[in-house]
Amino acid sequence: MPQLHVVATPIGNLSDLSPRAVQTLRDCALIAAEDTRVTRKLLARFGIATRMISNHRHNEAARTAELVERMLAEGFSIALVTDAGTPCISDPGYLLVKACADAGIDVLAVPGPSAVAAALSVSGFDCREFTFYGFLPRAAGPLRKKLLTIASSHVPVAVLYESPLRVRALLEAVVETLPGARVCLCCDLTKLYELTLHGEAEHVLSALRANPGAQKGEYCVVLDLRGIAPASADPPPPPISLEARLLEGMLSGLTLREAEAALRSAGERRNELYKASVRVRDFLAHQNPT
């Protein structure tokens, strides 16, 4: 019976490819790779000569039916890989996995490296409950709203991906929108020059700004949202004027004098109330001239 093997590949350090993954890549008849050029380097490192076929975001929908049909007709197994890490997590592959499962083909995980799991493991946060969001919107407004949505979920830890060109803008939005959030910022995990920064968002942002090499590598960002007070998604409404409050009291059945007395009892200043009452009388006189 054919099988689909979902194989995790290194996110940086090639030594992280497991012996089981090496054997699976050798034994399968075909490797469905996100980018065959990237995977070819990995296969060469381990002396693997298995044939490859591309399976990326732009051709996966068309490629899936072809691969499943061949697996059923010819009875061979396929290994699914992406450029780095575990397939189907912000990477192509889920359409092939779903189609194989729907067709009755066994889908087997060959676990291994994952930037999400690696970043969580070095964060120092309580990660018994977390959410993964992948890449957030690029534009400032949608990014701010998404961060507020993440905070409103009440799940204490969130994991994000970001490019080196936008990571500063992401942290600036976190500082502005989620004051008090703690951050574990990971860059180039498992690689020779990997970098991990811990601390409150504004401190991590300062360290990032001071790093001349910050615009290199790929980032995985872990946010600890415990105890934060998110900023409002919208600007606060303007305060209601004393004139409007006096008119509101009159609409509820009070006289102007009674409405003024009620606001004075609520702590409003006598002089300001007098001025507002004069303006209300002038307004009413203008609306109802005698």
Q: What's the mean pLDDT when you consider all of the chain? A: 92
pLDDT of 111: 96
Mean pLDDT confidence for 114-120: 96
Between the ranges 4-13, 211-220, 244-253, 258-267, where is the mean pLDDT highest? 4-13
Structure tokens at 27: 């034994």
Nearest alpha-carbon partner for 280 in 234, 249, 236: 249
The top-level CATH class assigned to 3-113 is alpha beta
Topology of domain 116-224 in CATH is 3.30.950
Going by pLDDT thresholds of 50, 70 and 90, the confidence category of residue 229 is: confident
pLDDT of 237: 62
| Cα atoms in the 13 Å half-sphere on the side-chain side of 153 | 16
Q: Give the residue range(s) of CATH 3.40.1010.10 domains in the chain.
A: 3-113
**Does this model's pTM top 0.85?**
no
Structure tokens at 7: 């194989």
Q: Are 6 and 24 in contact (CB under 8 A)?
A: no
pLDDT of 234: 55
pLDDT over 90 for what percent of the chain?
A: 73
Note the pLDDT tens digit of each residue in 40-90.
Answer: 999 999 999 999 999 999 999 999 999 999 999 999 999 999 999 999 998
Separation of alpha carbons 185 and 86, rounded Å: 20
pLDDT of 40: 97
Going by pLDDT thresholds of 50, 70 and 90, the confidence category of residue 236 is: low
User: In angstroms, how far apart are the furthest CA atoms of the chain?
Assistant: 100
Going by pLDDT thresholds of 50, 70 and 90, the confidence category of residue 283 is: confident
Q: Give the residue range(s) of CATH 3.30.950.10 domains in the chain.
A: 116-224
